[in-house]
Structure 1
């Protein structure tokens, strides 16, 4: 009994939501440390920080939209909220989509209008993020409007995986940053792509596992 009690607690619906909240807060925590170290002169400032200051609208939309997704995503994947608090699931879902549209559209906006400071690979990776975010959300909405809950869930999970990309990317950034300092293109762009790819691969494995399991639990005719 003791052997199964701990894993059950760690993998319960609310435990998974808490883990996802912690993972989603990682980029904010690390960025806070980075900003403090930069202000104290311990490290060099972000090369394009002046561009962000001069263009507050798109960066604000990106941060607010992404934060909404990271805040609401753990609720959306929690089956207890989805089944017992359907009103909350629907309300949070609408806000999740709005946040995703803001994050995705602003990513494309910044990639196409900001000076090319970080490099072409980083620009292309940001265009991928924005396009993929808007595409997955659109397909998720279309699926639920057609009554295809399984497809809706899969597409929304893909959009959430994209939103969690910065957390995975920061984990990949840190060893390189500690060893070599600021990261330049194309390594920066490649790390961004790898971070999103890891998250999307996890979702695809989950979708594949669910699809293989579905015929066994389907009611007999």
Structure 2
């Protein structure tokens, strides 16, 4: 396997991890557009589908475009693309988390969830907004290392929707299917993703963060809200 091929392993893994929530989101869009119900219907979204549509579309852009920001060779060969994509990703990331917070705060709760999931979504949604803001602030002052660290954390928080597909299954088998057990299983996805993100940040530090070259590599870098 060539170095270039190895450089695409992480983006490919991230796309694969996000495949389940993206497919579910696509099925939900089909249903809201008047098509057949490909997944179990959710009556909570019928009266006000706009935040759901915004969440799904922004999540798809954020997950797929964001994965490409983790291909180092691609970033180096196309710095202009990296900066332009980064600006799109900041907008998409804010769309993801603000719509997720709207759904959490103003829609009826998920039938199989409890107050713990409500708190977790508010906490991690707010943390994603903060991570995006800190990442943008860092790149504006030329601090590439801090920028990448915060954007990696934001992406990890968002990608919890994919990880939850595994933690819910494992947690359900071990802890049962009570609302508290399911909420804890879902919450584990955010913890796991952030732990992996911190490991990656420390394993691959960026040297010369504030080099003063005048080039501002833009944002690398979905919140765990399943449509």
TM norm structure 2: 0.76
Residue of structure 1 equivalent to 2:223: none
Structure 2 residue aligned with 1:205 = 199
- Could you tell me whether the CA contact under 8 Å between 1:9 and 1:15 is conserved in 2? no
The residue aligned with 2:56 is 63
Query: Which aligned pairs between 1:4-83 and structure 2 lie closer than 5 A?
Result: 5=1, 12-29=6-23, 45=40, 49-83=42-76
Aligned counterpart, 1:132:
127
Tell me, yes or no, if the aligned pair for 2:75 and 2:82 is still in contact at 8 Å.
Answer: yes
CA contact (8 A) 1:107 1:129 kept: no
2 CA distance for matches of 1:29 and 1:126? 21
Query: Which residue matches 1:186?
Result: 180
CA distance in 2, matches of 1:214, 1:186: 43
Aligned residues: 201
Larger Cα Rg: Structure 1 or Structure 2?
A: 1
With over 3 angstroms needed to count, the CA separation of the structure-2 counterparts of 1:188 and 1:169, relative to structure 1, is: same
Per the alignment, residue 218 of structure 2 pairs with none
The aligned runs of 1:119-158 (5 Å cut-off) are 119-158=114-153
Q: Residue 219 of structure 1 aligns with which residue?
A: none
For 1:33 and 1:54, locate their aligned partners in 2 and report how far apart those are by CA, in whole Å: 18
Query: In the TM superposition, what is the alpha-carbon distance from 1:187 to its structure 2 partner?
Result: 2.1
TM-superposed CA distance for 1:154, in Å, is 0.5
Greater relative CO, 1 or 2 (CA 8 Å, sep 6+):
2
SS in 1 for 2:108: coil
Determine whether 1:100 maps to 2:90.
no
Is there any run of 5+ residues in structure 2 with no aligned partner, and where? Answer: 32-36, 209-227
Of the three residues 66, 71, 84, the one matched with 1:91 is: 84
Q: Is the 8 A contact 1:169 1:192 kept in 2?
A: yes
1:106-126 deviation digits (Å, cap 9, x = unpaired): 111111111245321111121
- The structure where helix makes up a greater share of residues is 1
> Residues 188 and 52 from structure 1, CA distance in 2 versus in 1: closer, same or farther, beyond 3 angstroms?
farther
Work out the CA distance in 1 between the residues paired with 2:170 and 2:187. 17
- What CA distance in whole angstroms lies between the structure 1 residues aligned with 2:95 and 2:184? 24
* Alpha-carbon distance in 2 for matches of 1:145, 1:172: 37
For the 8 Å contact 1:121–1:186, the answer to whether it is kept is yes
Output the TM-score relative to the length of structure 1: 0.78
1:115 and 2:108 aligned: yes
- Unpaired runs of at least 5, structure 1: 216-221
